[in-house]
Structure 1
Amino acid sequence: MIDMSLWPPDWPRVHGEPLASGDFRMTPEDFLVEEIFDFAPEGQGEHLWLWIEKRDLTTPEAVKHVARVCGVRPRDVGYSGLKDRIAVTRQWLSVHLPGRDAPDAFATQLSDVGVVVQETRRHPRKLKRGVHRANHFTLRLSGEIASHPELSRRWQALCADGVPNYFGPQRFGREGRNLVLAQKAFARGWRKRDDPHGMQLSAARSFLFNEVLAMRLRAQTWRTPRPGDVLALAGTASRFVADEIDSALHERAARGDVAPTGPLWGRGRLESGAEVAEEEARLAARHEVLMQGLEAAGVRMDRRTLCVPLDAPSLEHEASNRVTLGFGLPRGAFATSVLRELMHHPLL
């Protein structure tokens, strides 16, 4: 069992200790997130897609409001990504409205509860989970970090090297609560009715992945391909096992064309080979309750990149005690994993 008295784990950072203390997300406007899609609604079909801006609401809360105002069940409302409450979020939602329009003044009613409808378009299909390609973040930081003399240099290093693709602390809950629940559930036998949204399973997989990434970071191989690594092709879902590593592959990794991956534990075989697979299995076996619990729950083995690039990064000093960062991350990557490389904060 994991010793939760030592929570949070001391997972290493790529450039050493953070530069200074700071604050973020003091208000929802300090944390702006916009989903990026590779497609647009077609303009016709049974589903009405809403491009919304929500403030101080979780995505499930926004879904409930949309369902109520449009007179449908929450399950008839689709979304791609779950977004935090303390943020301003722009994302698509879809509403199944075959043969009818949205109710009159529905946008005004949604605006009254913090959901602003900025655009509507029809589409033949419901919006499914995880179909957006990326998220773009605009984050306002304040406090000592904003005026630190090394901030620009550290930021440029992250822009050049990428960021360790840790799962953020919100995945584990306050004081690791989701992981505590997972360990208890696995000890007695995990049941879906007790974890309908899979938060316990997700916390367990995320912890095991972060442990692998931390190991690779300490060995300084989190960006460097090794024989047996499963490498992901940038911008695609394709990956392959690198049985041999040559200079060309090292150059591709340095450019960000390919990136090593780590396991998202579950039932099935590890795709990796050679010493990499032995290392990954040995590390997972240290947390036998989590490893066996995920397998017994029927979660399927998958992979996740160890490193993520910052897309279109920017840094702007607004005042002596305030700075704004802008950057894009692939779907599933955490903005808090970027911030922990820069600053001290209790939630990082």
Structure 2
Amino acid sequence: MFSDLLPAFGSPLGRARLRVEPEDFAVIELPLVEPAGEGEHAWLWVRKRGQNTDWVAGQLARLAGVKPRDVSYAGLKDRHAVTEQWFSVQLPGRPDPDWNALEAEGVTVVEARRHSRKLRRGALRGNRFRLRLRDFDGDAGALMERAALLNVRGLPNYFGAQRFGRDGGNLEAARRMFADPRRRLPRQKRGLYLSAARSFLFNRVLAERVRRGDWDRCLAGDVMQLDGRSALFAAPECEPELETRLKALEVHPTGPLWGRGESLCSGECARLEADCLAAEAELREGLERAGPELDRRALRVRVEGLQVTPEGSDLWLEFDLPAGSYATVLLDQLVEWA
């Protein structure tokens, strides 16, 4: 399923091990806003090691004596990692509990501040990563050159393998769900399966654009997205000014997040996407029946400050990615990892 997600810059430049210890995969959330210091929501900056985000939210709800729905966070973070992020807990007219009394292994409340609003899903600029590649066997010099190229040209914005569940199980479950529309599923599972189906179709289109070499260039009829924003605009023609903006990473081509509605793309772009997804009528029609609105996702994202630092036989990688992009996808552009 994932072997056809072509790397944009050539074959991997070596092999390494990842996540030998949770400290080998460190993630710090880059928030959109900072808590103001007053309000009915307690915002908590939490460091966790070896725990998943939903479980931590449940532990905070239990300590505060509130319902799970009163605890929120901007995004899920890796379990097998050391991560830092904001949570918010709604406490109208109530003082903070003693957050230091939290009894959750590997979890520390580093800071607590009040704010007037809850933290909403997706309300983050991105994430800062610090990854350790152990026992690297390859050409470190060539890898540093490719890292420099990623800083300049950006990263193919594939959905990572974790989007599809263990061994692609969520995608196969989506196919079964679409084959039997009368089958009722819990809302959370249904959402996971729909996301897997949309992500798979997007990855198919992006892989074809990578194969053609125009994943970071204009194709007549493309739909463009402004860097760091959700705003879209149609590009029926590839004007020189647009090519200049693409090269500067100010705008990015997009691919489909399948669903109901009319596509904004036209011309050559529309023909490419139709041809690429012609064999996936089951998924396309299932998504159209299920009801998510057709949307677009950038085919490319900006990589901020990618640095590679050798340490003995290991390599340390540090970089920032926007929300919704995958560090493991960046690693796939550099090395084979296990």
- 1:345, 1:174 → 2: CA distance? 17
Q: 2:268 aligns with which of 248, 272, 275?
A: 275
Q: Deviations over 1:183-228 (max 9, x none)?
A: 1111101766335251111110110000000010111000001221
With normalisation by structure 2, the TM-score equals 0.95
- 2:93, 2:122 → 1: CA distance? 27
> 1:190, 1:293 within 8 Å by CA — same for their partners in 2?
no
Aligned to 1:170: 162
Residue 55 of structure 1 pairs with residue 55 of structure 2: no
With normalisation by structure 1, the TM-score equals 0.93
Q: 1:41 aligns with which of 35, 41, 50?
A: 35
> 1:232, 1:261 within 8 Å by CA — same for their partners in 2?
yes
Q: 2:24 aligns with which of 23, 26, 30?
A: 30
> 2:136, 2:315 within 8 Å by CA — same for their partners in 1?
no
- 1:114, 1:297 → 2: CA distance? 39
Unaligned residue ranges in structure 1 (runs of 5+): 1-6
Q: Deviations over 1:225-280 (max 9, x none)?
A: 12211111112221210122122211110110111000111111111121212322
- 1:115, 1:237 → 2: CA distance? 33
Number of aligned residues: 337
- 1:219, 1:117 → 2: CA distance? 48
- 1:252, 1:276 → 2: CA distance? 19
Aligned to 1:206: 199
Aligned to 2:60: 66
Q: Which amino acid aligns with 1:20?
A: G
- 2:5, 2:111 → 1: CA distance? 42
- 2:151, 2:28 → 1: CA distance? 20
Unaligned residue ranges in structure 2 (runs of 5+): none
> 1:8, 1:175 within 8 Å by CA — same for their partners in 2?
no
- 2:88, 2:333 → 1: CA distance? 36
Deviation for aligned residue 1:284: 2.6
Q: 1:322 aligns with which of 278, 289, 314?
A: 314
Q: 1:285 aligns with which of 278, 283, 286?
A: 278
Aligned to 1:265: 258
Deviation for aligned residue 1:146: 6.8
Residue 226 of structure 1 pairs with residue 219 of structure 2: yes
- 1:147, 1:217 → 2: CA distance? 24
Q: CA 1:325–1:146 in 2, change beyond 3 Å: closer, same or farther?
A: farther
> 2:157, 2:298 within 8 Å by CA — same for their partners in 1?
yes
Residue 118 of structure 1 pairs with residue 139 of structure 2: no
Deviation for aligned residue 1:308: 1.1
> 2:148, 2:306 within 8 Å by CA — same for their partners in 1?
no
- 1:342, 1:162 → 2: CA distance? 13
- 1:196, 1:230 → 2: CA distance? 31
RMSD: 1.6
Structure 2 counterpart SS, 1:225: coil
Structure 2 counterpart SS, 1:259: strand
Q: Which amino acid aligns with 1:158?
A: L
Structure 1 counterpart SS, 2:133: strand
> 1:146, 1:322 within 8 Å by CA — same for their partners in 2?
no
- 1:285, 1:160 → 2: CA distance? 34
Structure 2 counterpart SS, 1:133: strand
- 2:33, 2:137 → 1: CA distance? 38
Q: Which amino acid aligns with 1:93?
A: F
Deviation for aligned residue 1:295: 1.1
- 2:182, 2:229 → 1: CA distance? 33
Identity %: 45
